[in-house]
């Protein structure tokens, strides 16, 4: 046995081997040590190897999925090794023969299909990155991404580049990523791989572009992949790597994958990983779904609908026509409340068709999967009929046709064949409905009612022979036999009974006989259980084959039900939360009237109830001014805790919802398509990569300034706050000028650097806005209302007081602030405006045409001379304060 284990383990390196022994999966050697730590199970030993004990642990087969889930979550891969023959067959080869075993499946994070191992409301994506030499990429390479979910059959492919790769990976969130060895080792790409849960390096041959088309064609059983569309070599290579890995891990079993669908580079809004994290689109910064945008707007009633909604939020459209089609469906169901309610009631009873179909195709299904498909198809037909009863917009009408596109006879057959109460596994039997198969019913009767069958035969023999004392008995030696007394034995030896009964045994007071009919009955009774189970297995295979013959239409039905569920859920959201239909077009407008934050609004309602005060709605107008092509930038000032960050985020979330095809939390919204969304909100370090909080802030800001376009929407909060005041002010100043003059995007820029408000004098599309507060008896009341204008203070000390700083610290802070505010803080900003050319002028003008240096200011010269004589590292705090007063006096000409 151990020799067999070692042979199989050697053939499957890089994974833990689940070695089937009876009712357990056993692990040995290092695998056992790893598994015992990961699973928290006892490590024992069995036998010896090279004179030392062999470590061993095991898990019950019945609970294998539970343990597999834990191991996959820990980043392990598992090879499942099953017995491939009956132990009785092994014994025929000799008493010491080992039962044949082989690996039937390699379980990896990206190839899961079991419900117990998957999040029902989240896709489980296997992705592959291919790289080819080319002149278009930022680093001299062209990249392509292929990504599939074998649990549902989706399969998509897209071109990308080194600069956009991180955003695309964040969009699809692969459970496992396949990359070539050489690409995996690239230093500039390693940070991307570290951010993913599982990355599997493969030999470069897996991404061979020359054989990619042939591998794809072979997988889908076609002569050429040209009918699938036009693909680049990199896209074909990535797609071929996906199908080759699936074939390797599933050992030849073929999941019902869609043919690869190509996505255009400009089909979806680009959202980089930092922005997704800052806006908490699918999950919060702590990794939880609760508290995210997705959780706040999810009113779906099916798992497939929840997955589709998450995908739409992760990749909002950029095509106004497709966006309008989605909005039409939502509007129709929002207006037709009765229809929407009926659809949701039906959808709630629809199982997860796509994942059940995948398990059937891979041979991992049970009776409940077949039943789920039957019920799902029945519900699909009923849902299609509801939609067809009245005029419906194009998206709903198309979904209704797909939902009813499966042969109704299949659902009827599945319903007739499967019992109401079903076991989890097909091997348990008992899942075929009584009356479906006469042969199975008779075999079950033989199995379950053997006593009644034997008694009936006994009565018949007694009546036919006239021997009323005739009995049919059973023992372990003879099996079933007919027993009569010695006086009646001659009756059975006479014609015509001598042709029926055969003498078996003579006893002192009785004689025993058998008959052909009794022998056949005995054989049937003995094998009835096995025969009944075999008949059920055959029926299961027939039903599964019928399902797979309709795989494409079933998958289309599953996708259609998800589309209908999302539209109905968003319609319910719009009615319940007072959302409105946005206007989305190809322009540069961004006009929100009475916008609200969808997550914060609901949180306030949960915390305080309907009477706890409404969320304060605010307008946002970033549309281009008259005679301008580029949008506005709002410079938002105001105190801490006033709601600046909420205001910034809500407008970004409104853009995402609108382009995802949802109604938005506002009185009205008009949005020109946003091609890229950037958000730099909050502070966090990245210690694993050696980055301080300020470094992370600068890296993210650099990405925005280097990539934002006129169609982009940029949300920036407190740029420059992670460093010294003048450093931070300088960076924020230059960044704001760059956004206005170079990127020319629509944007919201929140800051506590009030000096920046002076820029509105020379940046024509920069608008000052502030969050209102009211002071009352020394306390600050936050009104959360955004109005035109600029704040003159940040009320940081009041917030510190609310946070519980000691009174002595608050009092001292007020005194220091009073001294510092004596300086004229507007003067430096005004001097920069007067003396320095705009960022764009500095950036674009030749050196020879640079603006002349400003005239020397005597006071400034005195200050510079005084500064040159200071050594801050050698000064005491008292000396530094005195120097500050001297500089203040020098600046005033004293």
Provide the terminal-to-terminal Cα distance of the chain, rounded to the nearest Å: 96
H-helix or E-strand containing 510? strand 510-515
CA dist 146 and 243 (Å) reads 10
Residue 420, classed as helix, strand or coil, is: coil
CA dist 52 and 162 (Å) reads 51
Does the bond joining 496 to the residue before it have cis omega, within 30 degrees of 0?
A: yes
Q: Is beta strand 176-180 parallel, antiparallel or unpaired with respect to 583-585?
A: unpaired
Under 8 Å between Cβ of 572 and 566: no
Annotated ligand binding at 641? The verdict is yes
Annotated ligand binding at 36? The verdict is no
Residue 662 burial by Cβ neighbours in a 10 Å radius (0-12, 13-18, 19+): buried
Annotated ligand binding at 639? The verdict is yes
CA dist 385 and 58 (Å) reads 52
CA dist 329 and 571 (Å) reads 9
3-state secondary structure 230-254: CCCHHHHHHHHHHHHHHHHHCCCCC
Annotated ligand binding at 273? The verdict is no
Annotated ligand binding at 638? The verdict is yes
Q: Where are the beta strands (DSSP E) in 361-478?
A: 471-475
Which DSSP state fits 187?
T
Residue 540, φ and ψ in degrees, nearest 5: -60, -45
Positive/negative CA dihedral, 505, 506, 507, 509: positive
3-state secondary structure 771-819: EEEEEECCEEEEEEEEEECCCCCCCHHHHHHHHCCCHHHHHHHHHHHHH
Question: CA angle at residue 408 from 406 to 412, to 5 degrees?
Answer: 130
Which DSSP state fits 433?
P
Structure tokens belonging to residue 628:
């301008």
- CB-based burial, 603-639: b 16+ in 10 Å, e otherwise: ebbeeeeeeeeebbbbebbbbbeeeeebbbbbbbbbb
CA dist 599 and 650 (Å) reads 9
CA dist 451 and 457 (Å) reads 10
Nearest to 408, CA basis, from 392, 425, 385, 426: 385
Structure tokens belonging to residue 127:
């992705």
Query: Which are the contacts of 318, defined by CB distance < 8 A and separation ≥ 6?
Result: 266, 267, 268, 269, 659, 673, 674, 675
Structure tokens belonging to residue 85:
């023959």
Which DSSP state fits 432?
B
Strand partners, 418: 432
Under 8 Å between Cβ of 887 and 866: yes
Known binding positions for ATP: 638-645
Known binding positions: 638-645
């Amino acid at each position: 046995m151990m020799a067999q284990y070692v042979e199989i383990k050697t053939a499957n390196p890089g994974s833990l081997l689940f070695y089937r022994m009876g009712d357990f999966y056993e692990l040995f050697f290092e695998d056992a040590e790893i598994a015992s730590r990961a699973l928290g199970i006892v490590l024992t030993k069995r036998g010896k190897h090279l004179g030392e004990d062999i470590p061993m642990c095991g898990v019950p087969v019945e609970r294998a999925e539970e343990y597999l889930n834990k191991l996959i979550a820990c980043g392990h891969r598992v090879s499942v090794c099953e017995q491939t023959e009956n132990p009785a067959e092994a014994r025929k080869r000799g008493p010491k023969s080992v039962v044949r075993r082989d690996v039937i499946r390699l379980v990896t994070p990206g190839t899961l299909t079991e419900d117990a191992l998957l999040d029902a409301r989240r896709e489980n994506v296997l992705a592959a990155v291919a790289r080819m030499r080319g002149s278009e990429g930022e680093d001299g390479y062209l990249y392509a991404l292929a990504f599939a979910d074998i649990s549902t059959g989706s399969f998509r492919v897209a071109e990308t580049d080194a600069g956009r790769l991180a955003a695309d990976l964040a969009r699809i969130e692969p459970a496992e990523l396949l990359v070539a060895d050489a690409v995996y080792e690239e230093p500039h790409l390693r940070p991307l791989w570290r951010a993913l849960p599982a990355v599997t390096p493969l030999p470069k041959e897996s991404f061979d572009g020359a054989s990619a088309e042939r591998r794809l064609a072979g997988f889908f059983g076609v002569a050429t992949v040209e009918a699938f569309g036009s693909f680049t070599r990199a896209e074909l290579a990535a797609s071929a790597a996906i199908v080759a890995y699936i074939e390797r891990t599933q050992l030849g079993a073929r999941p019902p994958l869609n043919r690869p669908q190509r996505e255009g580079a400009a089909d979806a809004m680009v959202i980089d990983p930092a922005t997704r994290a800052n806006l908490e689109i699918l999950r919060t910064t702590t990794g939880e779904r609760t508290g995210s945008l997705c959780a706040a707007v999810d009113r779906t009633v099916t798992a497939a609908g929840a997955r589709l909604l998450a995908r739409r939020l992760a990749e909002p459209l950029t095509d106004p026509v497709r966006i309008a089609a989605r909005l039409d469906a939502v509007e129709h169901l929002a207006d037709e409340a009765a229809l929407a309610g009926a659809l949701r009631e039906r959808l709630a009873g629809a199982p997860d068709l796509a994942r059940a179909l995948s398990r059937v195709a891979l041979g991992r299904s049970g009776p409940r999967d077949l039943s789920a498909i039957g019920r799902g198809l029945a519900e699909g037909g009923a849902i299609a009929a509801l939609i067809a009863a009245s005029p419906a917009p194009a998206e709903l009408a198309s979904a209704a046709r797909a939902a009813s596109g499966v042969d109704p006879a299949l659902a009827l057959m599945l319903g007739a064949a499967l019992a109401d109460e079903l076991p989890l596994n097909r091997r348990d039997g008992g899942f075929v409905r009584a009356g479906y198969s006469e042969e199975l019913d008779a075999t079950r009767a033989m199995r379950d009612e053997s006593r009644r069958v034997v008694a009936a035969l006994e009565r018949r023999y007694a009546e036919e022979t006239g021997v009323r004392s005739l009995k049919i008995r059973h023992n372990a030696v003879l099996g079933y036999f007919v027993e009569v007394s010695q006086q009646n034995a001659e009756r059975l030896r006479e014609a015509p009974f001598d042709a029926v009964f055969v003498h078996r045994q003579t006893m002192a007071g009785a004689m025993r006989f058998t008959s052909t009919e009794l022998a056949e009955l005995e054989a049937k009774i003995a094998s009835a259980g096995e025969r009944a189970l075999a008949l059920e297995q055959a029926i299961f295979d027939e039903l599964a084959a019928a399902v797979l013959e309709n795989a494409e239409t079933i998958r289309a039905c599953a996708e259609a039900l998800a589309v209908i569920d999302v539209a109905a859920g968003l319609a319910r959201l719009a009615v319940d939360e007072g959302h409105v239909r946005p206007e989305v077009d190809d322009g540069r407008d961004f006009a929100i009237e009475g916008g609200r934050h969808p997550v914060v609004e609901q949180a306030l309602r949960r915390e305080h109830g309907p009477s706890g005060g409404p969320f304060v709605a605010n307008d946002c107008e970033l549309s281009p001014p008259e005679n301008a092509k580029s949008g506005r930038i709002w410079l938002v000032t105001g105190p801490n805790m006033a709601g600046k960050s909420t205001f910034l985020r809500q407008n970004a979330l409104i853009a995402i919802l609108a382009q995802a095809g949802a109604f938005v939390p506002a009185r009205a919204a008009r949005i020109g398509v946003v091609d890229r969304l950037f958000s730099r909100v909050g502070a966090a370090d990245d210690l694993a990569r050696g980055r301080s909080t300020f470094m992370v802030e600068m890296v993210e800001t650099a990405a925005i300034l280097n990539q934002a376009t006129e169609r982009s929407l940029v949300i920036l909060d407190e740029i420059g706050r992670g460093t010294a005041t003048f450093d931070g002010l300088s960076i924020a100043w230059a960044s704001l000028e760059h956004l206005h003059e170079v990127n020319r995007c629509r944007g919201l820029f929140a800051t506590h650097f009030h000096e920046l408000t002076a820029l509105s004098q020379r940046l024509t599309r920069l608008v000052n806005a502030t969050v209102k507060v009211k002071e009352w008896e020394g306390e600050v009341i936050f009104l959360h209302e955004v109005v035109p204008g600029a704040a003159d203070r940040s009320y940081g000390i009041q917030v510190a007081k609310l946070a519980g700083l000691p009174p002595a610290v608050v009092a001292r802070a007020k005194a220091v602030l009073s001294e510092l505010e004596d300086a004229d803080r507007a003067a430096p900003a005004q001097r920069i405006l007067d003396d320095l050319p705009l960022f764009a002028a500095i950036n674009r003008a030749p050196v020879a045409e640079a603006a002349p240096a400003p005239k020397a200011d005597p006071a400034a010269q005195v200050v510079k001379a005084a500064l040159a004589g200071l050594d801050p590292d050698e000064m005491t705090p008292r000396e530094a304060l005195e120097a500050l007063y001297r500089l203040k006096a020098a600046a005033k000409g004293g």
